Amino acid sequence: MTKRRRAAIVFAMIGTQRIEGYAIVSDDGMIADSGGAMPASIRNDADQKFLQTSLDRAAVVVHGRHSSEGGPRAAARKRVILTHRVAAIAPDPSQPNAMLWNPAGATFERALATLGATGGTIAIIGGTEVFGLFLPRYDAFHLTRAPVAIPGGRPVFPPTVPPATPEQILAAHGLRPGPRRDIDAAAGITLTTWDR
Ligand SMILES: NC(=O)c1ccc[n+]([C@@H]2O[C@H](COP(=O)([O-])OP(=O)(O)OC[C@H]3O[C@@H](n4cnc5c(N)ncnc54)[C@H](OP(=O)(O)O)[C@@H]3O)[C@@H](O)[C@H]2O)c1
């Protein structure tokens, strides 16, 4: 099955819900180190505040099994967690507000319906494969840039041939950049929202 066909099936009947991505990315396009940990050098309070405030407004948070936004309000948020550990969709036994979802077995729309999520913004928060899966569907992507390098790290989007920056990948998927904002000028942290 082609990637385009798979995306069409996964996102069948998603309706009018808005899909927005959030990532803080190093100069060399990474979200985590080679071991899958997020180094302190890429964490930033202004970015965290922006993320947590945005997630408070979101109807659902979506991420892979190794990612989560954390923080005091995380347990209250509805979430969809991607994993191969279930065939399609199943409640997460460790989190009452969470649904485990395998895109190979069920559409995203079904996962949302099972969670009782019928409208509002869906926040995609990573990691690499999850950010890549939603590239055809983002209404907006909030790309924070941190002036650090993470050599050999995990990229924000799955690698392309030839190699492309996160900005080039977003543009190739039909998104356009808004103004770049200095959200922590002293630390050199910028935030650009890309809209479709
Ligand atoms: N800088 C940032 O903005 C940012 C954002 C997100 C994450 N991170 C960091 O990145 C690191 C983890 O990222 P990651 O990419 O390794 O992990 P991840 O996406 O959180 O988790 C990967 C796991 O998710 C599941 N998964 C992903 N895609 C799937 C698919 N298409 N179908 C079924 N299951 C799927 C698989 O779980 P199973 O093994 O259960 O099948 C896979 O092992 C963490 O350190 C996290 O904090 C940073």
| pLDDT tens per residue, range 149-168 | 999 999 999 999 999 999 99
Most ligand 1 atoms within 8 A of CB, residue of 20, 31, 41 to mutate: 31
pLDDT for residue 118: 81
The answer to whether the CB of 100 falls within 8 A of the CB of 36 is no
Q: What is the CA(35)–ligand 1 centre distance, in A?
A: 12
Does the predicted model carry a pTM greater than 0.75?
yes
Q: Any residues with CB less than 8 A from the CB of 72 and at least 6 apart, and which?
A: none
**What are the φ and ψ backbone dihedral angles of 81, each rounded to 5 degrees?**
-115, 120
Q: What is the CA(186)–ligand 1 centre distance, in A?
A: 30
Half-sphere exposure of 37 (CA within 13 A, CB side): 4
Task: Quick: pLDDT tens for 4-51.
Answer: 665 555 565 455 689 999 999 999 999 999 999 999 999 999 999 999
The answer to whether the CB of 116 falls within 8 A of the CB of 97 is no
Per-chain mean pLDDT for the chain: 93
State the closest ligand 1 atom to the C-alpha of 66, by its place in the atom list counted from 1.
20
Amino acid at 124: I
Q: What is the CA(83)–ligand 1 centre distance, in A?
A: 9
